[in-house]
Structure 1
């Protein structure tokens, strides 16, 4: 269930590098991250794997600070009836619950995720922890993740310095890095997320079952 892709750029420094394009406001990315982590925990060469989380925006046009609910945003974006969106949310929440995630779409606030992605680029070895905290803040705790002070609080919760993060968000720090990720996504013809690429050679799209991610890791390791 994995696809062979050809990508010219090289990623070095580890035996196996997995790059993941995802968006903080994407429930399937949250589910995919959880399933991938479960597969990685089972992978016998886990210590050889470097995971890089890359930026993607499903709704880059979302106004910062608008404060609409995810329900209102999707009704407008997809032209669906509210009851249809609620049914969709319920289905996703049930799938998430199967991997231990509690998604509360009733309180989820639509947000522009550009600053959150900037912060992820600036998080260093706290990147994965910060991504997990951002997912939980958005989908479980009803936090407004395009509010910079909220982003500071989330960053502090994973051990980052408040003053440093506040100054970074007030500047253009890592904006070019986010744009580079978005450009690479277009180059690689990524049309949906999550999107997993191992060693710039083998790709898997979507929140696949744990066994598919284990297969991805195994195939990439064998061909490294």
Structure 2
């Protein structure tokens, strides 16, 4: 469980008539797009210029029992170059905590997260699933803006339920000091992460021991990724009734 203090919160609950959303603006600004009896659609954008070196962004998301939250990024995210690359200071930090109660559903359609040249970023994503909960997260990591080499990223994804770990990934990549077998010539890593349900998989996908899978594409440009089409397919599977 993360000990980071959240500055931005999204909480979805259901009362007798319809779903309710509590949106707390911090460094990120969640905005209500629509809601219905048991579902909420929220857009997320930056509330200020982030991520600069030393910035700390903490997003906490809670989805109540039998509720569905659809999140989508608006505008993507850029980790900017360090002010003084020759004098390294603390990295920019991006912490996300996703907590799903029993029977909850979450779809997060993330836009590219760009690590600019000389940027240094520590990124952590934690997903906690209650009984029967399902989550689908798209994560697109990009090293460098146009005509840039890109910076340093350490990224951890940890998903678990009451039975234990579902997924634990730890990636460290520095575009200024590439290592064989990490990303090679690729500057884009696009991922679909399905937890709590079984999507339609293809050769090369990582099928988890518990219901879930990870589809991944490595490439030179974001627009060449085939995962946009598969996102729709996996989302339909997430919303389908069990069985």
Same fold (TM over 0.5): no
Q: Which has the higher helix share?
A: 1
Q: Choose between structure 1 and 2 for higher RCO, CA contacts under 8 A separated by at least 6 residues.
A: 1
Q: Which has the higher strand share?
A: 2
> What is the TM-score normalised by the length of structure 2?
0.28
> What is the TM-score normalised by the length of structure 1?
0.30
